[in-house]
């Protein structure tokens, strides 16, 4: 009979909304929160409002937790499943027959990289959203309450990512080391997520404090890349200890050393060591650092959380004067495009990509991932080689950036002002494909070409003429792959014609995971084949491949692409 009962209407008045079940535990902390200046009733309204809005989405984060069972095909579920699969693969690291400190250092280094990458890409729009203060301040919400609500919201979604990425590995560690060690690993995983979030928040706080305008946006992108590299380098520091060898060849030294202090990914091996009964000076130091530092950073940030909300207003600042296009742009546009329509679209793509903050926040950290991955896979092998042999492999290091190609191309669909592209609905143009080709070329030139050129200069200084030939081949090959991937990833949708949304970014998470796996495999194959063969024959093959597909696909864009000129102003 229950099926014939009329469903109760969903409350729409925020004042009548209860605290979401996921945050019901906050009620017990109400006196403590209010002592710290947090308006609990306003906090409840913010969390309830955001939960209601998320639950109404047909896809994305909220749809996974709402009560509408008909919405089974949400992008979040797919992303969660892909992340879980990826986490199961990462969990195999814990089966390597080495010491606990070695396996958990490797595992936690990858976890920190992936969770930090998720924060910089998937959650950057939640962290760096200045609009919340404008909306909720009208209801008398103070900055500390708003910042705490933002932090709780991010922690909830980050927890889902940690569960998917790290959960399978913790289960595997339970079978390999026992359930007690798995409990310690789970606690360490939680603290690693807190540390990665606090690192991002403190970096954002410092940059927002000292920069503004366009320099602020550029510094955000630069520091994101440096932090990604820093996390990997920190995880590799224990390998410098005298008793340490190749990380897959022998265990990291378990002797006490001050070198473990800056190696913060290794901190989170301390709790599993203690839970395994290894009570030593090293395990006690690592466990203490893994618990005390995240808690101290969290308390410190909560103290300055109100200031963070004030500084976010800087992201609404814009430059009064448009930036001039310099010699680098003029040279690349003349080299890569023909005069006429394509060059016009190249200029359009260049300018839009230079002003899209959300695009930079989503894509630039992926570039750092592409620079790190080759080091992850070949760094240990290079230690056993002579300098001359290693230089042959290093010459192909730039190919790792192909990991970032798919996210960079997928995000070409979006813009913070898609209505501006509506002009193409009223001003006819002859060839649709020239628009996409010009935009894709601008993306490659603006994001990928300069890093590839710099890497080639460095590798040439190390490996000489052969490295120069290999670097040029990598640049041409990456350009060809960009055109190959641009057609299926962007071609079905008008560039810059959809509004950015958190849900769209989460739904593209599976694309990002697949691109990382496939891109990493392809990069490793090219690096190893090129390194073993040496000489100029393999670079010549890569150059021919890149030029052939670049020319063929370039013509294909022009003759076969037709768009449905539709502007999507609603979040996907």
Model pLDDT for residues 460-512, shown as the tens digit of each residue: 888 888 889 999 999 999 998 888 888 777 766 778 887 766 555 544 445 55
Residue 216 tokens, joined: 């602020």
CB 301: neighbour CB atoms within 10 A?
Answer: 18
CA-nearest of 365, 321, 287 to 119 is 365
Contact status, residue 120 vs residue 224, Cβ threshold 8 Å = yes
Confidence at residue 221, expressed as pLDDT on a 0 to 100 scale: 67
CA-nearest of 197, 446, 153, 207 to 315 is 207
DSSP state of 448: I
DSSP state of 568: B
Task: Please return the burial class of 492, using the count of CB atoms within 10 Å of its CB with bins 0-12, 13-18 and 19+.
Answer: exposed
Contact status, residue 308 vs residue 208, Cβ threshold 8 Å = yes
CA-nearest of 384, 404, 409, 377 to 487 is 409
Number of H helices, E strands in the chain: 23, 2
CB 374: neighbour CB atoms within 10 A?
Answer: 23
Is the pTM higher than 0.75? The answer reads no
Nearby residues of 64 by Cβ (< 8 Å), 6 or more positions away = 74, 76, 77, 80, 160
Residue 150 tokens, joined: 């933002």
Confidence at residue 72, expressed as pLDDT on a 0 to 100 scale: 38
Contact status, residue 40 vs residue 25, Cβ threshold 8 Å = no
CA-nearest of 106, 114, 53, 54 to 82 is 114
Residues of the chain with pLDDT under 50: 1-12, 14, 57-74, 244-250, 320, 506-509
Determine the straight-line distance between the first and last CA of the chain, rounded to whole angstroms.
37
């Amino acid at each position: 009979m229950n099926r014939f009962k009329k469903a109760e209407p969903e409350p729409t008045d925020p004042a009548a909304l209860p605290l979401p079940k996921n945050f019901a535990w906050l009620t017990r902390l109400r006196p403590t929160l209010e002592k710290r200046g947090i308006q609990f009733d306003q906090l409840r309204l913010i969390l309830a409002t955001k939960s209601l809005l998320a639950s109404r989405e047909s896809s994305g984060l909220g749809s996974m937790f709402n009560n509408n069972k008909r919405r089974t095909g949400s992008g979040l579920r797919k992303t969660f499943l892909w992340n879980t699969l990826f986490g199961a693969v990462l969990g195999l690291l814990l089966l390597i027959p080495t010491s606990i400190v070695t396996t958990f250092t490797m595992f936690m280094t990858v976890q920190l990289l992936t969770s930090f990458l998720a924060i910089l890409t998937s959650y950057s729009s939640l962290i760096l959203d200045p609009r919340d203060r404008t909306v909720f301040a009208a209801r008398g919400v103070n900055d500390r309450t708003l910042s705490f609500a933002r932090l709780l919201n991010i922690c909830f979604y980050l927890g889902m990512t940690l569960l998917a990425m790290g959960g399978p590995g913790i289960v595997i560690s339970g079978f390999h080391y026992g359930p007690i060690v798995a409990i310690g690993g789970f606690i360490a995983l939680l603290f690693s997520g807190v540390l990665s979030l606090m690192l991002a928040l403190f970096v954002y706080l410092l940059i927002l404090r000292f920069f503004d305008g366009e320099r602020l946006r550029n510094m955000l992108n630069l520091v994101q890349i440096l932090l990604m590299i820093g996390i990997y380098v920190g995880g590799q520091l224990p390998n410098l200890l005298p008793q340490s060898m190749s990380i897959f060849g022998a265990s990291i030294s378990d002797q006490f050393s001050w070198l473990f202090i800056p190696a913060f990914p290794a901190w989170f091996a301390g709790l599993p060591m203690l839970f395994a009964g290894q009570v030593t000076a090293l395990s006690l130091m690592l466990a203490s650092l893994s618990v005390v530092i995240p808690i101290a950073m969290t308390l410190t940030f909560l103290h300055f959380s109100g200031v963070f909300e004030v500084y976010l207003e800087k992201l609404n600042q814009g430059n009064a004067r448009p930036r001039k296009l310099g010699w680098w742009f003029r040279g690349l546009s003349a080299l890569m495009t023909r005069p006429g329509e394509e060059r016009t679209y190249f200029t359009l793509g260049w300018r839009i990509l230079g002003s899209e903050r959300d695009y930079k926040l989503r894509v630039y950290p992926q570039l750092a991932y592409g620079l790190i991955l080759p080091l992850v896979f070949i760094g240990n092998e290079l230690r056993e080689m002579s300098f001359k042999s290693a230089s042959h492999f290093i010459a192909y290091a730039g190919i790792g950036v192909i990991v970032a190609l798919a996210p960079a191309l997928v995000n070409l669909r979006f813009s913070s002002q898609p209505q501006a592209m509506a002009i193409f609905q009223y001003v006819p143009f002859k060839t649709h494909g020239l628009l996409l080709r010009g935009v894709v070329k601008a993306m490659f030139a603006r994001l990928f070409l300069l890093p590839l050129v710099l890497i080639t200069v460095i590798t040439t200084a190390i490996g000489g003429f052969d490295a120069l030939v290999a670097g040029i081949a990598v640049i041409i090959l990456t350009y060809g792959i960009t055109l190959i991937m641009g057609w299926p990833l962007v071609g079905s949708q008008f560039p810059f014609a959809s509004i950015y949304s958190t849900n769209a970014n989460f739904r593209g998470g599976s694309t990002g995971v697949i691109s990382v796996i496939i891109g990493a495999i392809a990069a490793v194959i090219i690096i190893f084949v090129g390194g073993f063969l040496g000489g100029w024959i393999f670079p010549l093959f890569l150059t021919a491949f890149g030029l052939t597909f670049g020319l063929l696909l370039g013509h294909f864009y022009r003759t076969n692409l037709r768009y449905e000129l539709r502007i999507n102003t609603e979040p996907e």
